[in-house]
Amino acid sequence: MAEAHPPKKGLLLKADPIAGTFRDEVKSALEKTSQRPKLVGILSTTSAPSKNYAEFTRKQCEELGVEYVLKEVGAAVSSDLAEGEGVEEAIIEANEDPSIHGIMVYFPIYGGQQDQYLQQVVSPLKDVEGLHFKFHYNLYHNIRFIEPKSLLASTNAPLTQSTADSEELPVGSVKSIIPCTPLAIVKSLEYIGVYNKILPYGDRAYGKTITVINRSEVVGRPLAALLSNDGARVLSVDIDSIQEYTKRPKVATSESAAQRYHPRHIVHPTNMSLQDCLAMSDVVISAVPSPTYKIKTEWLKDGCICVNVAADKNFEKDVRDKASIYVPAVGKVTIFMLIRNLLRLQQYQQL
Amino acid sequence: MAEAHPPKKGLLLKADPIAGTFRDEVKSALEKTSQRPKLVGILSTTSAPSKNYAEFTRKQCEELGVEYVLKEVGAAVSSDLAEGEGVEEAIIEANEDPSIHGIMVYFPIYGGQQDQYLQQVVSPLKDVEGLHFKFHYNLYHNIRFIEPKSLLASTNAPLTQSTADSEELPVGSVKSIIPCTPLAIVKSLEYIGVYNKILPYGDRAYGKTITVINRSEVVGRPLAALLSNDGARVLSVDIDSIQEYTKRPKVATSESAAQRYHPRHIVHPTNMSLQDCLAMSDVVISAVPSPTYKIKTEWLKDGCICVNVAADKNFEKDVRDKASIYVPAVGKVTIFMLIRNLLRLQQYQQL
């Protein structure tokens, strides 16, 4: 019976149905807000991807009933002006404008350190992208709840309450903000069923081995931390090294690491190769910004789940010969995470 | 008469006499402190330059009467541990230890974004290197005085008081902390006489054109900002572009820029080449971390002042054929800036 043969190719899962599950949630939350939230996007370059993303943000906001204002500065306004000129001033102005609830800046502008500086200039109370140091700190330390006032009250507020060895997490009244792209990936994995809802909250990825290719502060490192804080064994791959992120170390690098389960992930170096990692991974997530970088399909574990986060396709065309599910992009989910963050921050601003 | 001939070579000025001018100041300040200040250095790699610098810091501290404790973690302790392993926990522990007045972390560890993340983990009240976002923000915005409490009270405290267009600077009771290496370079230029003491404070580099090669957030960009906030015209050179930092724009890129003197520097792109910049520069400062990068002596303006900040020599051997003064390194000055910052922060911790 031909019908009994398994399908030859894995499932191609586009982001639309995943995004769809958040549309109702966001729409209903928007209906309950006393004031229509206002998001400002700051564009300071002539980058086509940034312009397209700004346009995409505008459309999504308008469709959902969020006010979106595009503030163009520098090279985005005139070829007489430099890329990034006026961007810091525009951020400060938006920080100070009480009518604005959220700020997103279209990166890259300068690339590297100077962009990371600019991410700190955005007030954490308006940082819908979750790129401020405070949010990364909370994420790396598995601090899930905060006091909204702590966002302005003290740079290192959580420091005194949670050290690496403490089992106690500070009890806050609201959720910390999680960077949009890593969060969109986690939500996509929840949709796919990688997160097991039968397991307790905070440990629902237990039992899963996940390779994350990229270790930037914007995508790969926060993602590896999120997944391992949720119980997964994560193999974090970058151009120089491979690290293991886990709450349950299998390979002990010190006695204390072997002896106990950690309240948050710890990081070990590993001698595994990329091929070793892929061979044992239930999920492979790649975010390498290069059109020539390709993950060899033959190295994948049969039936794994592959998620491409890069603008370029990091998987080969035949990826579904091995992958049971392939998600080619998550951008449409990311925008809903951004609007969820906007709604949260609008609330926090009123507390 | 042979004696009347000008010397053929410019002056080779080592850092020792410059550092010497701060030795007495620091010693006398140390005698006045009620408690001997304690500095912790955190070493997490096997890098030889970092180890050497830690040893150098220890010697200088001991000679001056500062307590120095080297905290070794990760690969610095054992080859079983990774580079950087435990460094964040060590920083947090030092933040929380009231007996420690200052923290310095030996970078690079991971390089790039993850190091910049770690720089934010150091409490600004103990950040003797001045690498926290708050200090960079103050420096870029020419905010020279702060309230010590603002270092813990609010991430973006200065934001509400100083926008780019405001002439008003917030009035604080103590000085902001300036990153050590850029500050050591400024102090060296003061020693050399590039800063003119007859001019009013805050404008003493007026009239000088200075090329700064390197635009990292640790050295080049804060240095360009400091010098231009002090009145110099700065040509900031990196691998991709050349920018002009100035309070007094010569080339107008907009009407408002041409019309007024700014309370802090503004940044323009420029079409000048490196050769153009060097030809008009009174001072050339280079911090390119490459053994093969060399500035062509023939491109230098006759009688200019050259300062090498890189570990490698960025100037050619014959630099003094053109330079009137050549400073081959400033590390010995930097360590005094670090101890000055330590003494300041020890005071701020008591306020």
What distance in Å separates the CA atoms of residue A170 and residue A54, rounded to the nearest whole number?
36
In this predicted structure, the answer to whether residue A129 has a pLDDT above a threshold of 50 is yes
Average pLDDT for B98-114: 95
Structure confidence at residue A257 (pLDDT): 43
| Identity at B29, one-letter amino acid code | A
ipTM associated with this complex: 0.80
Q: What percent of chain B has pLDDT over 90?
A: 76
**Strand ranges (DSSP E) for A136-275?**
145-146, 174-175, 209-213, 233-237, 242-246, 266-269
What distance in Å separates the CA atoms of residue A188 and residue A177, rounded to the nearest whole number?
18
What distance in Å separates the CA atoms of residue B123 and residue A137, rounded to the nearest whole number?
13
What distance in Å separates the CA atoms of residue A277 and residue A6, rounded to the nearest whole number?
26
Cβ–Cβ under 8 Å, residues A326 and A12: yes
Residue B269 contacts A where some CB pair is shorter than 8 Å: yes
DSSP B246: E
Q: How many CA atoms lie within 13 A of A138 on its CB side?
A: 27
In this predicted structure, the answer to whether residue A251 has a pLDDT above a threshold of 70 is no
In this predicted structure, the answer to whether residue B23 has a pLDDT above a threshold of 70 is yes
Tallying the residues shown for chain A, one arrives at 351
Tallying the residues shown for chain B, one arrives at 351
Dig out the tokens for B233 from the structure: 């015209």
Per residue in A326-337, pLDDT tens?
999 999 999 999
* B248: number of Cβ within 10 Å: 16
- Reduce the DSSP state of residue B277 to 3 states and report it: helix
Nearest to B92 among A159, A216, A218 (CB): A159
Cβ–Cβ under 8 Å, residues A190 and A209: no
Question: How many contacts, defined by CB atoms under 8 Å, are there between A and B?
Answer: 118
Instruction: Label residue A141 by pLDDT band (50, 70, 90).
Output: very high
Per residue in A217-245, pLDDT tens?
999 999 999 999 999 999 999 998 999 99
CB contacts under 8 A, A 61-80 vs B, are: 80
Give me the active site residues of B, please. Answer: 180
The residue among B120, B221, B241 with the most chain A CBs within 10 A of its CB, best to mutate, is B120
Structure confidence at residue A254 (pLDDT): 52
- Alpha helix (H) ranges present in B180-264? 180-192, 220-229, 255-259
CB contacts under 8 A, A 279-298 vs B, are: none
What distance in Å separates the CA atoms of residue A117 and residue A269, rounded to the nearest whole number?
28
What distance in Å separates the CA atoms of residue A280 and residue A195, rounded to the nearest whole number?
18
Per residue in B258-301, pLDDT tens?
445 677 898 988 999 999 999 999 999 999 999 999 999 999 99
On chain A, the residues whose CB falls within 8 A of the CB of B272 are: none
Contact A113 B114 (CB under 8 A): no
Residues B249-278 as b or e (16 or more Cβ within 10 Å = b): beeebeeeeeeeebbbbbbbbbebeeeebb
Average pLDDT of chain A, as a whole number: 89
Q: Which of residues A45 and A196 earns the better pLDDT score? A: A45
On chain A, the residues whose CB falls within 8 A of the CB of B93 are: 163
Contact B116 A113 (CB under 8 A): yes
In this predicted structure, the answer to whether residue B256 has a pLDDT above a threshold of 70 is no
* B32: number of Cβ within 10 Å: 7
**In Å, what is the CA distance from B282 to each residue of B47, B232, B325?**
36, 10, 11
Nearest to A155 among B85, B124, B267 (CB): B124
On chain A, the residues whose CB falls within 8 A of the CB of B262 are: none
Average pLDDT for B110-122: 94
Instruction: Label residue A289 by pLDDT band (50, 70, 90).
Output: very high
Structure confidence at residue B169 (pLDDT): 45
Contact B155 A81 (CB under 8 A): no
In this predicted structure, the answer to whether residue A191 has a pLDDT above a threshold of 80 is yes
On chain B, the residues whose CB falls within 8 A of the CB of A152 are: 154-156
Nearest to B114 among A151, A155, A221 (CB): A221
- Of A148-152, A190-194, B67-71, B271-275, the poorest mean pLDDT is in A148-152
What distance in Å separates the CA atoms of residue B194 and residue A329, rounded to the nearest whole number?
55
Structure confidence at residue B148 (pLDDT): 84
Average pLDDT for B28-43: 94
* A239: number of Cβ within 10 Å: 9
Cβ–Cβ under 8 Å, residues A343 and A29: yes
Q: Which of residues A172 and B287 earns the better pLDDT score? A: B287
CB contacts under 8 A, B 303-342 vs A, are: none
Per residue in A291-321, pLDDT tens?
999 999 999 999 999 999 999 999 999 999 9
Structure confidence at residue B154 (pLDDT): 46
Nearest to A253 among B81, B114, B215 (CB): B81
**Strand ranges (DSSP E) for chain A?**
11-12, 38-43, 67-72, 102-105, 145-146, 174-175, 209-213, 233-237, 242-246, 266-269, 283-286, 305-308, 325-327
Average pLDDT for B99-128: 95
Q: What percent of chain A has pLDDT over 70?
A: 89
In this predicted structure, the answer to whether residue A168 has a pLDDT above a threshold of 50 is no
In this predicted structure, the answer to whether residue B35 has a pLDDT above a threshold of 50 is yes
Per residue in B127-154, pLDDT tens?
999 999 999 999 999 999 988 887 875 4
Residue A251 contacts B where some CB pair is shorter than 8 Å: no
Distance from CA of A337 to the nearest CA of B (A): 23
Structure confidence at residue A112 (pLDDT): 86
What distance in Å separates the CA atoms of residue A336 and residue A348, rounded to the nearest whole number?
18
**In chain B, how many H helices and how many E strands?**
11, 13
| String of DSSP letters for A273-292 | -HHHHHHT-SEEEE----SS
Residue B44 contacts A where some CB pair is shorter than 8 Å: no
Per residue in A53-95, pLDDT tens?
999 999 999 999 999 999 999 999 999 888 999 999 999 999 9
Which residues, 6+ apart, have CB-to-CB distance to A174 below 8 Å?
A145, A146, A147, A148, A344, A347, A348, A351
| Identity at A53, one-letter amino acid code | Y
Nearest to B95 among A88, A159, A221 (CB): A159
State residue A207 phi and psi, 5-degree precision.
95, -10
- Residue A123, exposed/middle/buried by CB under 10 A (0-12, 13-18, 19+)? buried
Average pLDDT for A105-126: 95
Structure confidence at residue A171 (pLDDT): 58
- Of A151-160, B188-197, B230-239, the poorest mean pLDDT is in A151-160
Which residues, 6+ apart, have CB-to-CB distance to A341 below 8 Å?
A102, A128, A129, A130, A177, A178, A180
What distance in Å separates the CA atoms of residue A74 and residue A77, rounded to the nearest whole number?
6
Contact A253 B85 (CB under 8 A): yes
The pTM of the full predicted model, rounded to 2 decimals, is: 0.85
Per residue in B314-339, pLDDT tens?
999 999 999 999 999 999 999 999 99
Average pLDDT for A133-146: 92
* A165: number of Cβ within 10 Å: 11
Residue B153 contacts A where some CB pair is shorter than 8 Å: yes
